[in-house]
Chains A and B, each alone.
Chain A
Amino acid sequence: MKLSFSAEDEAFREELIAFIEANCPAAGYSSGDFIGTEVSDGDGIMVIPDWAREWQAALFDNGWMIPAYGPELGGRNATPTQTLIYLEELASRGIPRSVHFVGYAIAGPSLLEFGNPDQRALAPAAIRGDTVWCAGMSEPGAGSDLANISTRAVDEGDHFKVNGQKVWTSYAMLASKCLCYVRTDPDVPKHRGISALIIDMDTPGIEVRPLRHITGQAEFAEVFFTDVLVPKRNLVGEQGDGWRITMGALAHERGGLWVEGVAGCQRSIDDILTMIKSRGRDQDKVVRRRVAELYSQVRGLRALGYKGFASFAQGTSAPEHSFMKVATSELHQTLIELAMDLQGAGLAVTDRAVAESKGRWQQSFFTGLAATIGGGTSEVQRNVIAQRVLGLPRGR
């Protein structure tokens, strides 16, 4: 156990920082929430800004997009420790790699792992951001119970005919391709009857309806499929492999998925400290003690992430990481509520002209609500921890 990494790894860090400082556009330092900021036009409909396209391409071309991959895939064959350093340096500056994560984090890696040669050839453009992807996963009847999807793909010889509905589909209105999970066999146990298809979003029969969420933005959409014909060659892996494919995706970075959650909490506690001083509350004993308590929790979670990473890097399971999603999302909500409470009656003010920090906390409050729901609710996370980490028996 020691505080610093090897000299070689610290040199990697220096090179990365130099690249960021020389190349990252000012807009890249969004220092807000990592994904999904600065991508909306005035009406709240999402567009990808030019700086974000250029930044993602520059990362790819210089081997800084997914460092663990080889240069042909936007990387530099980095080690797990170097990947962790990479994620931390970006997250601590609030710099996103991409404003649409599906292509580089889900579609690209899944095609590389499970696709045939033609499909694998789609990966570089997905990772570089040249092709925008969405992932057809959740449905009205398949949220936490993802394996319950009912979008049906019927085998009609040289193609599948797809009918059904997806929901919470990020970036669907911008995407040219969808990695879509469909039910190809309704007669086997539900995890086994799922397949993954690549669906071109301009195929007749697809309707995308933006889904405005409570912040007013429309990053998600509902996607309706009506008699959509998908060529057989667009099947990824074998029929029935779909569930396995949903479990894949960017294994190289699994040891660092927690970094962003911790960085968000760290930014918030730093901003809270500044706000308390500027509002002259820094001698209030109750405030001081509460902030110190939460500060300790943020620092503890950061250390816990690193502790789990040590297991991950040695190839063993990292039970610590199971805690990180639920812990960082809930702690962040607590921090945001404290920040709003410190504003007194101003807690409900969203007028940017008068609200504390231009309404940053009220904005974060709304986006923060999604963190304990999306990507596995806190309740599902707790069930998983109880069973897989603590080894408690399944309930009924």
Chain B
Amino acid sequence: MDFTLSDEQEMVRDTARELFTKECTIDFVRSAWKQPTLAVGLFDRHLSDWLELASADAVDLMLFALEHGRAIAPGPFFASLLAAQVASATGRDLSGSASVAVSGSDGTWTPNEDATKHFVPSAADVDEILVVSGSPDAPRLALVAQAEVALTEVEQMDRLRCQYRVDTSGVAAGESIDPAAWRHALERSLVACSAELIGVGRWLLDASVDYAKERVQFDRPIGSFQGLQWMLVDAALELERAAAAVSYAAMCIDADDSDRHRAVHGAKAEAGLAARACARTGMQVHGGIGYTFEHGLHYWLRRAYAGDAFMGPSSHHHDCLAELLFDT
């Protein structure tokens, strides 16, 4: 297992980092919270070309998603990226932004026959919806214009990426798709979500360490207190371990390694839990200032928890992993 980045991989990471540093500042994020249409502009102007990552190496996808999470980028790009994974794996063409309607009420991406799909990200801001139904062994796919489905916004903590309940009862049954192709899209999507969570955790940890160095109480930086140091060390350990697990999962997908099914479920669970740990620790380290709306820490905290829940919470992925460990 060789973690050395190739020149091309370094370029993906650096280009992504520059793009988000320039176009997705904290001020932009604050504005997008109040005025979600701004985020659609970010997609149209700067991100739509990056949907090509859907057919790139999973490692490239991961590197980009990580920077996306670090910048807490709002808007329909991420939903579109996941939709592009599904489209790419099943030979469909999308015309622009899109989202995936598959979840039942448990939030997991398990194809099912319910006409109502839950937790559909950014559905109001996209052109098309990929409706996935059937079952994991016999999935079906219908590509419809967004206007063909009925949307209900379900308010949730992360308003930078709204989620919707989608009534698909008016949509035709869809065509059968290869279960392996669905599984492939699912696993790449899990890697993207996991990587985004690592980026979220990375921002939270870095911001908290910086704050602990600057904030003085009792005549010294609070970061010199052992109690606080150990909290940060433990959060950093969880994050580093999860980040490595996510990279490993991406490498397994690219190598079509037999460990990839176990690796992706482990990665999503590890990443979700690590991002949450960094959020909790970050909030505690920042103290009162982090609790203000003004500061902005809460954007990352919201994404950490919402991101852990998205595509099924950690407990679900532990259950999936247990199935692979015990039942196969």
CB within 8 Å of B: which residues of A? 1-5, 81, 273, 276-277, 282-283, 285, 288-289, 291-293, 295-297, 299-304, 306-307, 309-310, 313-314, 320, 323, 326-327, 382-383, 385-387, 389-396
Contacts and interface: CB of A to CB of B under 8 A. Distances in A.
Contacts of B224: 392-396
B293 interface: no
B321 A295 contact: yes
Given A385-B233, A393-B220, A293 B269 contact: yes
B266 interface: yes
A80 to B, nearest CB: 12
Contact of B9 (A1, A273, A302, A304): A1
Given A3-B257, A389-B236, A395-B224, A296 B321 contact: yes
Interface string B248-264: 10111011010000110
Contact of A292 (B225, B230, B263, B319): B319
A282 to B, nearest CB: 5
Contacts of A386: 223, 226, 229-230, 232-233
B2 A299 contact: no
Interface in B60-106: none
Given A3-B1, A4-B2, A296-B318, A327 B212 contact: no
Given A293-B269, A307-B240, 14 more contacts: A3-B257, A273-B326, A288-B325, A291-B322, A292-B319, A295-B262, A296-B269, A306-B2, A306-B248, A310-B2, A382-B234, A386-B229, A386-B233, A394-B224
A306 B237 contact: no
A320 B236 CA distance: 10
A300 B270 contact: yes
Nearest to B230: A382
Binding site secondary structure of chain B: helix
A300 B325 contact: no
Given A1-B3, A323-B237, A382-B230, A299 B209 contact: no
A276 B327 CA distance: 12
> Which of A2, A5, A387 has the most CB atoms of chain B within a 10 A radius of its CB?
A2
Contact of B209 (A81, A306, A327, A391): A391
Nearest to B228: A392
A383 B230 CA distance: 7
19 contacts: A1-B59, A2-B2, A3-B1, A5-B2, A292-B266, A292-B325, A300-B242, A307-B3, A307-B244, A310-B3, A310-B4, A320-B240, A323-B241, A327-B237, A382-B230, A386-B223, A386-B226, A386-B230, A389-B236
B3 A3 contact: no
Closest 10 CB pairs of A and B: A386-B229, A303-B244, A296-B266, A288-B322, A310-B3, A300-B245, A304-B244, A300-B241, A303-B248, A292-B318
Contact of B255 (A3, A301, A393): A3
B325 A1 contact: no
> Which of B1, B225, B236, B242 has the most CB atoms of chain A within a 10 A radius of its CB?
B1
A395 B225 contact: yes
B247 interface: yes
B41 interface: no
Contacts of A392: 209, 212-213, 221, 223-224, 229, 232
B273 to A, nearest CB: 8
Given A306-B244, A392-B209, A297 B254 contact: no
Contacts of A4: 1-2, 255
B212 A323 contact: no
A120 to B, nearest CB: 34
B213 A1 contact: no
Contacts of B217: none
B254 A3 contact: yes
Given A1-B4, A289-B319, A327 B241 contact: yes
Interface in B269-284: 269-270
A297 B262 CA distance: 12
B152 interface: no
B3 A289 contact: no
B292 interface: no
B229 A382 contact: yes
Contacts of A382: 229-230, 233-234
Contacts of B209: 390-392
Contacts of B213: 391-393
Given A2-B251, A300-B244, A307-B247, A390 B266 contact: no
Given A390-B233, A392-B212, A392-B223, A289 B1 contact: no
Contacts of A81: 2
A138 B244 CA distance: 35
Given A3-B255, A382-B233, A390-B233, A304 B326 contact: no
B1 A300 contact: no
Nearest to B232: A390
B245 A296 contact: yes
Contacts of A327: 237, 241
B275 to A, nearest CB: 14
A394 B326 CA distance: 47
Contacts of B220: 393, 396
Contact of A273 (B226, B247, B248, B325): B325
A306 B3 contact: yes
Contact of A1 (B6, B226, B230, B242): B6
